[in-house]
Amino acid sequence: MVVREDGAMSSRVTLSDVASRAGLSVTAASLILNGRAGTGLSEDAHRRVFAAAEELGYRPNLMARGLRTEKSLTIGFVSDRVASTRYAGPMIRGALRAARERDHTMFVTETEGEPAEQDRALEALLDRRVDALVIATVTGHASLPERRPTVPVVLLNGVSPDGDCAAVLPDETDGARQAARHLLDLGHRRVHLLGIPAESDLRARATVQVRRRVESLCSNLQEGGAEVVRVELDSMSWDAESGYEAAGRALAGSAPVNAVVALNDAIAAGAYEAFREARVSIPDDVSIVSFDDDEIVNFLRPGLTTVALPFEEMGRRAVELALSEVEPGEYLEPMRLQVRGSTKRSA
Amino acid sequence: MVVREDGAMSSRVTLSDVASRAGLSVTAASLILNGRAGTGLSEDAHRRVFAAAEELGYRPNLMARGLRTEKSLTIGFVSDRVASTRYAGPMIRGALRAARERDHTMFVTETEGEPAEQDRALEALLDRRVDALVIATVTGHASLPERRPTVPVVLLNGVSPDGDCAAVLPDETDGARQAARHLLDLGHRRVHLLGIPAESDLRARATVQVRRRVESLCSNLQEGGAEVVRVELDSMSWDAESGYEAAGRALAGSAPVNAVVALNDAIAAGAYEAFREARVSIPDDVSIVSFDDDEIVNFLRPGLTTVALPFEEMGRRAVELALSEVEPGEYLEPMRLQVRGSTKRSA
DNA sequence: CTGTTAGCGCTTTCAT
DNA sequence: ATGAAAGCGCTAACAG
């Protein structure tokens, strides 16, 4: 078929090349290279096969193997905009690490939020016989295709409408508890919540993550005896612009602003700006804690105390669960409070 | 083999299922579904095959096809830390889009800068018979394995030591020219360069991109009749911290600071902070232009005028080149000056 | 202890 | 105008 032994015209070394060089059948070579136990093949045969494989630089053709074994050693990672946003990196990194540790390679696709794109992506992945699927979302709203894939599926940072799918989520309830506890421990008894969605939005549009964050924040602060001042946002988007605006409104309000929980880091960044302009010092005049531990906090002075989203661990977890064909249900990953310079004991 | 026709126990619909339902041979079914021209198969046969495929929900097994055709319709994307950094998103996104348009699915791997990891990743990808490889770097230093892969390879944002490989790079020379031109056009005749590497570093450690950026900046400014003040960084890293420090040093220097080029956005962000503290107004007292158009510029006020790195286009380009088996050489992607509020006509 | 044989699902000559 | 048969590279019964 192909001129071998000297590289000339050789396309790629195949198992039968190894076998013939070792003077054995392909079967024997296969058994030995796959370390199959209980096949009484001689020590010598082992040596010869390994030597031949080594010398020839043999590498198995995983498409061929997969065709036979029904295992491709690949996993599919489908995301809405994960590859694009700041949040994305850590999720993908965690997933990649977990996949690599298990000798799997990961396909990454991005659907840009289009459900039709998601269907296409899933088809493409299934056509390539991925062993498992991770469906990630940054918006928090996951959707599954009508016809359920035949391979294990794990949702990453989102829940399925029907909930009959494994879903990896941050433990927002506990994360928010930590934020509340932190301010209470510092002696604060009045807390402005920056970026609370309107009640109607909270019920209708907010993700379950946000809902839990808000609820846990309120209940923990109130139980701790603190007054809670809700400051809603003008726009629905949690960005620096609206954080700036909301903080300004808070300062103009009747209740003095001494402690603030920003619903995410971008809002906090905007609030920093507003406080600076108003000559309100962080943390002397006001303590501020927020959520995410976004990369942008590196640009804030003083350092922002924030509850980190455990995206990397989540990504890793999702792959682990997917490859172990786990049962449906929620898998919560702990959030961790990062204490930095923006919070201080109440005067 | 498998009970079909009613879904019970069926693993997945195969081409022979389609063929038998259409009352034809697999050959015919294959020919028809692949739209092979010149095979005089009847109109009716076509109809029956398409109908059968549709009804059964047939999807080809791409591993099987690939085994036969030696084409996997996949491409491998190997990166040092692309999936983790802010720069990464756009590169991956561009690559993903280009791949999708060409019906390819993309494997993504991350080597975390370890050469050994890169070798492992390349092996894994080659074992899965990717049709092409894109090797991306954010550090700008690409390295290729000893034994060159047999599939087309394109370097993304890096050059190979030996240069005998296609490489996609930003057109730094022209980007820097635009930045210089912009300040000159605004009437500035003294420009502080923030973040210039020391001469020795520039020669030894800097990437070709940085070298071109610096050289083009200097030569264009000088040709335009401007005085150039080089402000080096304390540390080698281009971050906000060192930008802050360097800007402070510039202000303390003898030459008044009226126009600044920061070598990247992070440095610019640090400079913003230093200027603010020194009560130096941007853009009234000082104009500032930088490079990258990083996401962080969203948090800066006034908006930062910056020369955008065309990462998305570069990612797209790399995939396009890889799939068209292009020749070695440099492929430059144009950079674009984004004018925002940080630059103003010289007083 | 080792080899023969039969596929995995697909494409592709080559016959008919 | 259609089908039989071979084979991509691998694994896994089943015989010797």
Under an 8 A CB cutoff, do B105 and A123 touch? no
Give the pLDDT confidence of A290-299 residue by residue, as tens digits.
Answer: 999 988 787 7
Cβ-Cβ contacts under 8 Å, B149 against chain A: none
Determine the distance in angstroms separating the CA of A301 from the nearest CA of chain B, rounded to an integer. 9
Mutate to test the interface with A, among B11, B33, B92 (most CBs of A within 10 A): B92
Please name the nucleotide lying closest to A18, CA to C1': D9
Flag the least confident range among A219-223, B34-38, B328-332: B34-38
Give the pLDDT confidence of A156-166 residue by residue, as tens digits.
Answer: 999 887 778 89
Under an 8 A CB cutoff, do A239 and B298 touch? yes
Nearest protein residue to nucleotide C8, judged by CA and C1' positions: A68
Q: Report pLDDT for B281.
A: 96
Under an 8 A CB cutoff, do B299 and A240 touch? yes
Span CA (B36) to C1' (C9), Å: 19
Give the pLDDT confidence of B66-93 residue by residue, as tens digits.
Answer: 999 999 999 999 998 866 677 788 899 9
Mean pLDDT of B320-327: 93
**How sure is the predictor about A1, in pLDDT bands with cuts at 50, 70 and 90?**
very low
Q: Report pLDDT for B7.
A: 36
Closest by Cβ to A83, choosing from B86, B93, B124:
B93
Nearest CA in chain B to A298: B240
For residue A23, give the H/E element and its range: none
Give the pLDDT confidence of A199-226 residue by residue, as tens digits.
Answer: 888 888 888 999 999 999 999 999 999 9
Considering chain B, what percentage of its residues have pLDDT values greater than 90? 71
Q: Which two tokens stand for residue B344?
A: 């103003």
Cβ-based contacts (< 7 Å) between B 29-48 and strand C? 30-31, 33-34
Closest to B206 (Cα-Cα) out of A153, B264, B307, B214:
B214
Nearest protein residue to nucleotide D11, judged by CA and C1' positions: A68
Nucleic strand C under 7 Å from the C-beta of A18 = no
Considering chain A, what percentage of its residues have pLDDT values greater than 90? 65
Q: How far is CA A288 from CA A27, A225, A258, A270, B110, in A?
A: 67, 18, 9, 12, 36
Closest to A78 (Cα-Cα) out of A43, A16, A128:
A128
Say whether the peptide bond before residue B283 is cis (omega within 30 degrees of 0).
Answer: yes
Span CA (A67) to C1' (C6), Å: 14
Is the pLDDT at B11 greater than 70? The verdict is: no
Determine the distance in angstroms separating the CA of A189 from the nearest CA of chain B, rounded to an integer. 30
Nearest CA in chain A to B298: A240
DSSP summary character for residue B224: T
Closest by Cβ to B89, choosing from A83, A96, A103:
A83
Is the pLDDT at A4 greater than 60? The verdict is: no
Q: Report pLDDT for B138.
A: 82
Nearest protein residue to nucleotide D2, judged by CA and C1' positions: B28
Residues 6+ apart with CB under 8 A from A324: none
**How sure is the predictor about B144, in pLDDT bands with cuts at 50, 70 and 90?**
confident
- Render A226-273 in DSSP notation, one character per residue: -EEEEEE-SSSS-SHHHHHHHHHHHHHSSS---EEEESSHHHHHHHHH
CA distance B61 to B47: 22
Cβ-Cβ contacts under 8 Å, B1 against chain A: none
**How sure is the predictor about A25, in pLDDT bands with cuts at 50, 70 and 90?**
confident
Same topology for domains A2-60 and A70-170+312-333, yes or no? no
Nearest CA in chain A to B240: A299
Between chain A and chain B, the number of residue pairs with CB atoms below 8 A apart is: 129
Give the pLDDT confidence of B95-107 residue by residue, as tens digits.
Answer: 999 999 999 999 9
CA distance A308 to B179: 37
* CATH for A172-309, options being 3.40.1260.10, 3.40.50.2300, 3.40.50.970, 2.40.160.10: 3.40.50.2300
Give the pLDDT confidence of B194-253 residue by residue, as tens digits.
Answer: 999 888 888 888 889 999 999 999 999 999 999 999 999 877 788 888 999 999 999 999
Q: Report pLDDT for A148.
A: 75
Cβ-Cβ contacts under 8 Å, B128 against chain A: 62-63, 72-74, 105
The residue whose two tokens read 């600071």 is: B257
Neighbours of A43 (CB within 10 A): 7
Q: Which two tokens stand for residue B313?
A: 């286009």
Nucleotides of C under 7 A from a protein CB: 1-5, 7-13
Mean pLDDT of A302-327: 95
Determine the distance in angstroms separating the CA of A103 from the nearest CA of chain B, rounded to an integer. 9
Mutate to test the interface with A, among B59, B72, B96 (most CBs of A within 10 A): B96
Q: Report pLDDT for A5.
A: 40
The residue extents of the domains of chain A are 2-60, 70-170+312-333, 172-309
* B317 touches B168 (CB < 8 A): yes
Q: Which superfamily does CATH assign the domain made up of B2-60 to?
A: lambda repressor-like DNA-binding domains (1.10.260.40)
Under an 8 A CB cutoff, do A128 and B105 touch? yes
Strands B305-308 and B336-338: antiparallel
Q: Measured in whole angstroms, how far is the alpha carbon of residue B117 from the centre of its chain?
A: 20
| Cβ burial, residue B14 (10 Å; 0-12/13-18/19+) | buried
Q: Report pLDDT for B142.
A: 77
The residue whose two tokens read 């008044």 is: B256
Under an 8 A CB cutoff, do B106 and A107 touch? yes
Closest to A52 (Cα-Cα) out of A29, A25, A28:
A29
Is the pLDDT at B1 greater than 80? The verdict is: no
Give the pLDDT confidence of A228-239 residue by residue, as tens digits.
Answer: 999 998 777 888
The residue whose two tokens read 């295709």 is: A145
CA distance B193 to B260: 6
CATH T-level topology, domain B70-170+312-333: Rossmann fold (3.40.50)
Q: Which two tokens stand for residue A12?
A: 């790629």
Nearest protein residue to nucleotide D13, judged by CA and C1' positions: A27
The pTM assigned to this predicted structure is 0.91
Cβ-Cβ contacts under 8 Å, A74 against chain B: 107, 128
Under an 8 A CB cutoff, do B109 and A108 touch? no
Span CA (A183) to C1' (D5), Å: 77
- Render B146-212 in DSSP notation, one character per residue: SS--SS-EEEES-B-SS--SEEEEE-HHHHHHHHHHHHHHTT--EEEEEEEPPHHHHHHTS-HHHHH
CA distance A3 to A11: 9
Under an 8 A CB cutoff, do B129 and A63 touch? yes
Q: Report pLDDT for A127.
A: 95
Cite the DSSP H helix spans in A289-334: 311-323
Q: Which two tokens stand for residue B158?
A: 């890096």
Nearest CA in chain B to A124: B105
CA distance B127 to A61: 5
Cβ-based contacts (< 7 Å) between A 21-80 and strand C? 23-28, 39-42, 44-45, 64, 67-68
Give the pLDDT confidence of B265-291 residue by residue, as tens digits.
Answer: 999 999 999 999 999 999 999 999 999
Neighbours of A139 (CB within 10 A): 12
Please name the nucleotide lying closest to A30, CA to C1': D11
For residue B333, give the H/E element and its range: strand B329-333
CA distance B270 to B194: 10
Q: Which two tokens stand for residue A167?
A: 């879903």
Q: Report pLDDT for A82.
A: 64
Please name the nucleotide lying closest to A69, CA to C1': D11
Q: Report pLDDT for A86.
A: 75
Nearest CA in chain A to B107: A107
Q: Report pLDDT for A84.
A: 67
Under an 8 A CB cutoff, do B301 and A60 touch? no
CA distance A193 to A268: 11
Span CA (A168) to C1' (D1), Å: 56
Q: What is the dihedral of CA B330, B102, A14, B152, to 10 degrees?
A: -10
CA distance A107 to A75: 6
For chain A, give the mean pLDDT.
90
